[in-house]
Amino acid sequence: MLNLKRALLVLWILMLGGCAAVQSDFEKPQVSVTSFRSVPSEGMAPRFLIGLHIINPNREAISLQGISYQVSLEGRKLLNGVANDLPEVPAYGEADFSVTATADLLNGFRLLTDLLQSRRDSVAYELNARLDLGAYLPYVNVVESGELNLGTL
């Protein structure tokens, strides 16, 4: 009985080490926004369709189980949403998909007030996305940030 417990312990340690070795060379996928448009709303809060492009720099395909995301402008959380109907991203490949986001009306009004009072040429944005790659891989957090030039919008 003691030998069986030892054998199981050794097997468990080897499996744990094997999983760590498999994930050690995993590179974070790159996510970027490719489109943004308004869609019909079911209530007071506006809804938007956000086009996303994902690049998989790994030798294994990524089967996306889900994504949660939020978009902030000038530090104010403005849009958020979740999706679970996502494509598989091939090894060393790319995929495009769209997700629907709902606007936070109060933060939208606050942002609009700030923009009208401050007369800025640009607005800072940040996309935070959390990708669920399945049970055996950790969540991947992706952050994309930059400036939107208000003169070109």
The pLDDT tens digits for 129-146 are: 999 987 777 788 988 888
Q: How confident is the model at residue 53 (pLDDT cuts 50, 70, 90)?
A: very high
CB proximity list for 87: less than 8 A, separation 6 or greater: 64, 95, 97
Tell me: pLDDT of 39 over 60.
Answer: yes
Residue spans of the domains in the chain: they are 27-152
pTM: 0.70
Q: What is the CATH number of domain 27-152?
A: 2.60.40.10
What are the distances in angstroms from CA 106 to CA 39, 45, 83?
Answer: 19, 10, 23
pLDDT band of 1, cuts 50, 70, 90? low
DSSP secondary structure letter of residue 65: -
Question: Is residue 33 within 8 Å of residue 127, measured between CB atoms?
Answer: yes
